[in-house]
Chain A
């Protein structure tokens, strides 16, 4: 098995290198046969990488402990799903996995019919990135290294990774990371082809949005995993690795918005190029952070030479891309202009400023320990409080913009239409504020500001939809229901976006509630004792012990009653894995939209009483639910057919352009 894997990877590397040569020959007019051959080389790369991945998966499932990687990350008693997910549990395997997604994506893009003109340029750029990853797994971090003396059993997987969240989180995250290679490649192709219009944006819109969705989900699944597995009651610790996946998300969000200005007004061409380059660079930068050990991180895979390779490759490709932009800058300069200071166009600039500013602040905080050590020679840590303090105001500001921007006019906005459009949302927001203060009894300023903003965004979005229905009714004479359905389904891009905004607002509500109002208590229960904690009546019967797959479990069944409602049983566990010395504390959670009851078994005494840590985390469910709302929003916006196209162009005087509507 291991030799098939090794040979497969070598051939894949050879093919990917060959494809670059063949694409080059085609592009210098040596004949169509080179294009066909190059495309086949791309497909071949995908095929042979797939063979290696299959070989690795086979080895993992069969427990072929002659392969070092299999020994390091699995054991015989590991459940089969985790044997599969061991593919991305370690350095070499996760690089193999990454390379695999990348070459598959390259093959799909190369085969697609709609981007024909771009393929000879975009495809080789994807292959350049593929060559790098294939080089890494062939020569730097090889997954198929064999052991000379084969052990009887492997060392097992880190218990923290034995969780459904860790099966899905890396997959979604990698799909998001890798996906941005597509818009990046098309952007570069557009520059090489001297075709600086918005074609590349339209062709890759689907890819960009789907990658963004995966990145969103990757982050959320990661947060959820931390919440249900790590047992500290939180879900986001601003660890460098988490930051590394949040930064490209922020810049990609900025990109998704600013391309609209280019599509509508043919402006911001240079900025969009820079944004996609930065986003792509950040997806690689994250990997550099994780693998290099330069910053302290929970996720550190251990320091290795990998980081240096990543740093060099990332720098080279970013420099090359920026050089290309600089070289073509005259072509990118914009012809159009803004008609006024306040307009939808300029509000997009503000949105971009905040999103990129937030990404920058996170970047700065992440590298600040290095900066500090280099400049003043002092080793310090920059942790959760810093990031919260800096990002909370920025985050609230761009939440506010989500309510304002959709209502601002294109071209020129004036006082009159601003006042008209915003009157009701503000009235509702103020009523909401009063309700929150006097009925909800909330007085913490941060929460008040955040909730008021959220109410404002929701009401301004709803108002916009209602008004849209009225206007449509007036123009077409349809009845209310028909015009609502047609309005939404014929402008899916806009209203899908609104739905995504609603998802983000739900997440903001969740983040606010769980950060501002969380509370915790530590309580020792004697067997048979019942106590009231945070409004929950909790009864403890006693500790029990059991054996499961590869673990010994000490657990307590707690019955929970809240407001005379039986909330069911909580099974709180301390798990001793066969291959690990430290026990894992598995929290048990009762989750409602009001709050989560989050209980940990921290220890026990000889007399049979047990010590529990009980967190009350308000509104966390909103965060996860918001994520699913975003999924629905993206699918609504992207669903093929009429209505997913971009709107018309509001360009300057005297010209009408026929932008191709891509649906």
Chain B
């Protein structure tokens, strides 16, 4: 009886490890290291933005000196602007369009401002 159980257990073990070996082999894949994987825009943005957040936070907490704050902030801000610009480019926001849109907005603001100004006078 014991011998039978023992043999059954052994057979089980052999099946477990043997099964993948007799299957049709899939060509060996190269293990990729994660460091080469580029991160998606959203992820990159999250990292840069939360870094800026943290720099701002630490500075306000007195945990970064003014020099460090300015240097790091400038560094990360530059990176963030670059990211936003690249993304705008990819998603088809044209720079001249954007300038025009901004100008229109400013004009609209001005108009609004003038009107309210006029209202007050009137």
Contact = CB atoms under 8 A, between A and B. Distances in A.
A26 B27 CA distance: 11
A407 B62 CA distance: 9
Interface string A562-600: 000000000000000000000000000000000000000
Interface string A402-431: 000001111111100100110000000000
Given A7-B9, A30-B28, A197-B35, A656 B63 contact: no
B44 A650 contact: no
Interface string B52-69: 011111101111110110
A22 interface: yes
B65 A8 contact: no
B20 A33 contact: yes
B6 A3 contact: yes
Interface in B1-46: 2, 5-6, 9-10, 13, 16-21, 23, 25-29, 31-35, 39, 43-44, 46
A409 B63 contact: yes
Nearest to B38: A658
Interface string B87-106: 00000000000000000000
A410 B16 contact: no
Given A197-B35, A467-B61, A8 B21 contact: no
Given A44-B17, A199-B35, A407-B63, A656 B76 contact: yes
A251 B54 CA distance: 29
Interface string A6-24: 0110010011001100100
Interface stretch (A130-138, A231-239, A254-262, A471-479): A471-479
B63 A417 contact: yes
B65 to A, nearest CB: 5
Contact of B61 (A47, A468, A650, A661): A468
Interface stretch (A35-43, A171-179, A240-248, A439-447): A35-43
B112 interface: no
B81 interface: no
A117 B16 contact: no
Contact of A7 (B6, B34, B39): B6
A193 B71 CA distance: 35
Given A8-B9, A37-B20, A658-B47, A414 B65 contact: yes
B19 A40 contact: yes
B50 A410 contact: no
A601 to B, nearest CB: 51
Given A44-B17, A117-B34, A120-B31, A650 B72 contact: yes
B75 interface: yes
A33 B26 contact: yes
A660 interface: yes
A96 to B, nearest CB: 17
A164 interface: no
Q: How large is the interface on B (under 10, 10 to 19, 20 to 34, 35 or more residues)?
A: 35 or more
B31 A411 contact: no
B25 A660 contact: no
A656 B25 contact: no
B65 A41 contact: no
Contact of A195 (B5, B20, B35, B48): B35
A344 to B, nearest CB: 8
Given A117-B31, A409-B65, A412-B68, A471 B57 contact: yes
A426 to B, nearest CB: 15
A414 B75 CA distance: 22
A32 B27 contact: yes
A603 interface: no
B6 A32 contact: no
A421 B32 contact: no
A640 interface: no
A649 interface: yes
A653 interface: yes
A153 B52 CA distance: 71
A400 B68 CA distance: 27
Given A33-B26, A51-B9, A648 B47 contact: yes
B13 A656 contact: no
Contacts of A29: 28
B71 to A, nearest CB: 7
B64 A15 contact: no
Contacts of A432: none
A29 B29 CA distance: 9
B102 to A, nearest CB: 25
Interface in A263-284: none
Given A32-B25, A117-B33, 15 more contacts: A11-B9, A15-B17, A31-B27, A37-B17, A41-B16, A48-B9, A408-B63, A421-B63, A648-B51, A653-B71, A656-B75, A656-B76, A658-B44, A658-B47, A661-B50
Q: Which 6 A-B pairs have the closest CB atoms?
A: A648-B51, A36-B20, A471-B60, A409-B63, A37-B20, A3-B2
Interface of A: 3-4, 7-8, 11, 14-15, 18-19, 22, 26, 29-34, 36-37, 40-41, 43-44, 47-48, 51, 116-117, 120, 193, 195, 197, 199, 339, 344, 407-414, 417, 420-421, 464, 467-468, 471-472, 474-475, 647-650, 653-654, 656, 658-661
